Copies of this chain bind each other. A is one copy, B any other.
């Protein structure tokens, strides 16, 4: 009937996004019903429409929100870092750290692109390319300067991204290795793969 005591529009909207992310992560976009979502946030299904336009708009909001935040954070992490070696190292560390903290966002962004309507999908794909180009640029510069051995820049950058992003699919915060150990390990693996040398920050 009227507003529940203590409810608050923007808090409700945020709760919807949080629950929506979790439910899409667990059941997929097609597998999440708005009834489930409404129940998760303590509303009737119809009430969701005071906060979202459609189910599809919610998905787009989640996916594009993640991409925006990701790219922005990357730019902050790379700001002021100079030289391909240092920038690659920073990229690897940033990408892993960011993704390990956001298992659900990562999975949804990888698995649910096909559930986006064509226009929405095109927008997201452009954002992804934008992000991936930053790694490709680092690799290209490093190859041009002779510090990396990169037979094919696009393929190599995809390979690195797949390797790093894949970690989110098995990482457990309370597992055998903590995040920092995993990050160190992959910095080494990537750097070694491109240069044959141990990463400089390792002191070796």
B-binding residues in A (CB < 8 A): 26-31, 111, 114-115, 149, 151-152, 155-156, 158-163, 165-167, 169-170, 177, 181-182, 185-186, 188-190, 192-194, 196
Can you sample 24 A-B contacts with CB below 8 Å? A26-B114, A28-B28, A28-B31, A28-B111, A29-B31, A30-B31, A31-B114, A31-B115, A149-B192, A151-B185, A152-B177, A152-B181, A155-B177, A155-B182, A155-B186, A156-B185, A156-B189, A159-B166, A160-B163, A162-B163, A163-B163, A190-B193, A192-B193, A192-B196
Taking a contact as CB atoms closer than 8 A, the residue among B114, B161, B163 that contacts A159 in the complex is: B163
Chain B residues whose CB sits within 8 angstroms of the CB of A170 once the complex forms: 158
* A192 B189 Cβ-Cβ under 8 A: no
User: Besides A30-B30, A155-B186, 10 other CB < 8 A contacts?
Assistant: A27-B30, A28-B29, A149-B192, A152-B185, A155-B182, A156-B189, A159-B163, A159-B189, A189-B193, A190-B193
A158 touches B167 (CB 8 A): yes
